[in-house]
Amino acid sequence: MSEEAPRLSAVVLAWKAEPWLRRGVDGLLASEKVAVDVVLVDNGCTTDDVEVLERLPGVTPPRWPGSSTRPPGPTSASPGPASAWPTIPA
């Protein structure tokens, strides 16, 4: 019986034009001795990086109510009701 690598989920926020976003996601996916799932959250990214990175194996966007990959409306200090929170695919 072979040992299965431990799993790690990493949540990455994409905000504005982050030049290091691709390098960071690539580094997470290249991790050794651990299986990595990257949850990439578009938190106001001003480039197409999120759409490009979502196509990589192991990268998943959260799904907000209404099947959008962007959070609904402006946010505040209070996260609001749990029904407004995203679901993260298993």
Domain coordinates in residue numbering, the chain:
7-65
pLDDT in tens, 23-39: 999 999 999 999 999 99
Judged against a pLDDT cut of 60, whether residue 72 lies above it is answered with no
Residue 86 contacts residue 63 (beta carbons within 8 Å)? yes
CA distance 35 to 70: 26
Judged against a pLDDT cut of 70, whether residue 20 lies above it is answered with yes
Task: Identify the residue whose tokens are 């490009």.
Answer: 52
As a whole number, mean pLDDT of residues 3-13 equals 89
Q: How far is CA 82 from the centre of its chain?
A: 19
Task: Identify the residue whose tokens are 């390098």.
Answer: 23
